[in-house]
Chains A and B, each alone.
Chain A
Amino acid sequence: MTTAGRLRWAVADGWVMAGRNMRHVVRSPEEIILYFSLPIMFVLVFGYVFGSGMAVPGQGSYREFLLPGVFVMTMLYGLGATASGIALDANRGVVDRFRSLPMARSALLTGRATADLTRAVLELATLVVCGLLVGWQWRNGLGEALVAVGLILLLRLALTWIGILLGLLVPNPDTVGVIVFPLAFPLTALSNVFVAPDLMPDWLGAIAAWNPLSATVAAARELFGNPGIGGDSWAAQHPLPLAVGWPVLLIALAAPLAVRRYRALSR
């Protein structure tokens, strides 16, 4: 087969596998409810419960400051579903069936990434509607808002590959579900999602400003025209290049490692 032919089948197989993963979601309605209730809860709990006691640098409403952070946080927690989905696949006999078929080796992984990104689009759409309902809005026009959404999805793609790698390294779906939270929680706390890094102690603020999540959140705030942008660090002043650079770097690291790990499975 020619390289072009292989590539064409790799895309086609990945698409078929993405369809498989999406059918999984459709066949488990309780999972759908969970997917969509979590981000809505984030908006309500953080927006109204914590929001009343939070300060925003400069001025503006805390909920408007918070929403881009919740968008990104939801993307981060999606990593758990990605990791446990891959771990489930790798653990089950069905992966042997896939490996015995004349399909592209990469399709199990790219299919997972495609399906999870599709789900992320739906989650984000839900969150945007919720956000509009609680008073969040984009102030710089639809074009910049779409760029912001694109950057958030780019981060989700990077997190998807990290999730795939994680799921292959810890091939026990139960363990994966447990370890994702302690990994994800400090990452959101040590970022600009809830609190502006300038309001933190210096050393903590520096970590938070350079956090890959912060880059995407800051870039989204800037593009949406939401409050809380800027800061003293170079990272806080250049969120756009970082919001592109971090995810690209993470994909460049995680994707090849995940593919290698997958190939090494059951040798």
Chain B
Amino acid sequence: MTNETSAVLAEGLRKTYGRTPALAGFDLTVPAGTVCGLLGPNGAGKTTAVRILATLLRFDAGRARVAGYDVARHPDRVRALIGLAGQYAAVDEILSGRQNLVLFGRLRHLPARVARRRADELLDQFGLTDVADRSAGGYSGGLRRRLDLAASLVTTPRVLFLDEPTTGLDPRSRNGVWDAVRSLVADGTTVLLTTQYLEEADQLADRISVVDAGRVVAEGTSTELKARIGTDRIELVVRDAAQLPVAAAIVERIVGAPVTVDPEIRQLGAPVVDRIAALADTMRALQDAAVAVEDVMLRRPTLDEAFLRLTGHDVERRDRTEVAA
């Protein structure tokens, strides 16, 4: 055991599938006892990174240490100290929830009696006691995700990997998973979670790493990243495309920020700081200038826009008709 304070350390990880690079120099440091969120769209390399760190996948180059051990040289020691849950690490669908938890306890080398007692505790803790003896294959998405999470906690992991833990869950189940993660962190577990949702990273993570094309392109606390991503946006649609330049100039004067214009749908948008004041001022000024407005909205930045700002291209990598006014 070394005395490093980082629970997860990745340096220059590279992984190529055939000729497609999945990771292209991936660096990450997660201090012990903290929650790190890997935020990025599908195909960014988040899952590949987690699979490598959880010893499921070999990598081509770089260095990875988890819980103080080199992942390539001592995978067995790493496995003894980690938990893995999420969209891919599943449970046995034929066995019941209880049988699953006992099985994973036995495979973590708990004595049979201890494994059974631990299974009971976890079933209780995750509200699965009522369905404990039914086949896991018949569980709803939320129940299954809870069982999956419970299965990764049979022995308290030093480092817990959560791969998109709430993808596809309804808000209530999602909150349940979040609560469980928070209580684990309170007990000192380090968590590395991947997500496509800004809100999830925001809710759980101390620090967020934004992943794009196989590397970390931005890193910081949620507040730091939001400052870079921008704030809320005002968007409005004018009736006559000919009035777009006039409208854009007015909006730019009021919000004091660059305005994006999409002539195709006669829409313009801009970041705003004081949402309600900006909305009221803009509407009044447009009315005074006799610009007919068809629709107006205030909204939070989407992940698409966050990506656009942090990476210079959007999630889908399509060219958009965004023109600075």
- Residues of A with Cβ closer than 8 Å to B? 1, 9, 12-13, 16-17, 19-20, 23-24, 27-28, 92-94, 96-103, 107, 266-267
User: In angstroms, how far is the closest chain B Cβ from the Cβ of A77?
Assistant: 22
Let me know if A96 and B56 touch, CB within 8 A: yes
Let me know if A20 and B57 touch, CB within 8 A: no
Minimal Cβ-Cβ distance residue in A for B80 = A102
Asked whether A102 and B109 contact (CB < 8 A) given A24-B94, A27-B94, A94-B91, the answer is yes
Let me know if A101 and B57 touch, CB within 8 A: no
Cα–Cα, bound, A211→B80 (Å):
47
Q: How many residues of chain B have a CB within 8 Å of chain A?
A: 29
A-facing mask of B90-124, CB < 8 A → 1, else 0?
11111110010001101111000000000000000
Cα–Cα, bound, A28→B54 (Å):
33
Cα–Cα, bound, A96→B99 (Å):
18
Minimal Cβ-Cβ distance residue in B for A1 = B76
B84 close to chain A: CB less than 8 A: yes
User: In angstroms, how far is the closest chain B Cβ from the Cβ of A79?
Assistant: 21
Let me know if A20 and B76 touch, CB within 8 A: no
Asked whether A101 and B107 contact (CB < 8 A) given A20-B92, A27-B135, the answer is yes
22 interchain pairs, CB-CB under 8 A = A17-B107, A20-B99, A20-B103, A23-B99, A24-B94, A27-B95, A27-B96, A93-B88, A93-B89, A94-B90, A96-B88, A97-B89, A97-B90, A97-B151, A99-B55, A100-B89, A101-B104, A101-B108, A102-B108, A103-B108, A266-B56, A267-B58
User: In angstroms, how far is the closest chain B Cβ from the Cβ of A214?
Assistant: 37
Cα–Cα, bound, A123→B109 (Å):
32
A-facing mask of B69-97, CB < 8 A → 1, else 0?
00000001001101010001111111110
Cα–Cα, bound, A98→B92 (Å):
10
Let me know if B90 and A99 touch, CB within 8 A: no
Let me know if A267 and B109 touch, CB within 8 A: no
User: In angstroms, how far is the closest chain A Cβ from the Cβ of B183?
Assistant: 22
Cα–Cα, bound, A31→B230 (Å):
59
| Chain B residues with CB below 8 A from A103, complex form | 107-109
| Chain A residues with CB below 8 A from B109, complex form | 9, 12, 102-103
Cα–Cα, bound, A99→B135 (Å):
22
| Chain B residues with CB below 8 A from A1, complex form | 76
| Chain B residues with CB below 8 A from A97, complex form | 84, 89-91, 104, 151
> Would you call the interface of chain A mostly helix, strand, loop, or mixed?
helix
User: In angstroms, how far is the closest chain A Cβ from the Cβ of B156?
Assistant: 14
User: In angstroms, how far is the closest chain B Cβ from the Cβ of A102?
Assistant: 4
State which of A16, A24, A28, A93 has its C-beta within 8 Å of the C-beta of B106. A16
Cα–Cα, bound, A248→B17 (Å):
37
Cα–Cα, bound, A1→B74 (Å):
11
Cα–Cα, bound, A24→B93 (Å):
10
| Chain B residues with CB below 8 A from A267, complex form | 57-58
Let me know if A93 and B95 touch, CB within 8 A: no
A-facing mask of B30-62, CB < 8 A → 1, else 0?
000000000000000000000100111110000
Minimal Cβ-Cβ distance residue in B for A107 = B107
User: In angstroms, how far is the closest chain A Cβ from the Cβ of B122?
Assistant: 15
Asked whether A100 and B55 contact (CB < 8 A) given A16-B106, A92-B90, the answer is yes
| Chain B residues with CB below 8 A from A27, complex form | 94-96, 135
Cα–Cα, bound, A94→B109 (Å):
18
| Chain A residues with CB below 8 A from B88, complex form | 93, 96
Cα–Cα, bound, A24→B94 (Å):
6
User: In angstroms, how far is the closest chain B Cβ from the Cβ of A2?
Assistant: 13
| Chain B residues with CB below 8 A from A107, complex form | 107
Cα–Cα, bound, A230→B285 (Å):
107
Let me know if A102 and B76 touch, CB within 8 A: yes
Let me know if A20 and B89 touch, CB within 8 A: no
Cα–Cα, bound, A96→B52 (Å):
12
| Chain A residues with CB below 8 A from B79, complex form | 100-102
State which of A28, A98, A100 has its C-beta within 8 Å of the C-beta of B94. A28
Let me know if B95 and A96 touch, CB within 8 A: no
Those of B133-152 within 8 Å (CB) of chain A? 135, 151
Cα–Cα, bound, A266→B59 (Å):
12
| Chain A residues with CB below 8 A from B93, complex form | 92, 94
Let me know if A266 and B107 touch, CB within 8 A: no
Let me know if A20 and B56 touch, CB within 8 A: no
Pick the most buried of B99, B103, B135: most chain A CB atoms within 10 A of its CB: B103
Let me know if A24 and B104 touch, CB within 8 A: no
By Cβ-Cβ distance, the 6 closest A-B pairs, closest first, are A93-B90, A102-B79, A102-B80, A103-B107, A100-B84, A16-B106
| Chain A residues with CB below 8 A from B90, complex form | 92-94, 96-97
User: In angstroms, how far is the closest chain B Cβ from the Cβ of A18?
Assistant: 11
Cα–Cα, bound, A23→B109 (Å):
19
Let me know if B104 and A23 touch, CB within 8 A: no
Pick the most buried of A1, A16, A94, A98: most chain B CB atoms within 10 A of its CB: A94
Cα–Cα, bound, A13→B104 (Å):
10
- Contacts A9-B109, A20-B99, A97-B89 given; 7 further ones with Cβ under 8 A? A12-B109, A16-B103, A24-B94, A94-B91, A100-B56, A102-B76, A102-B109
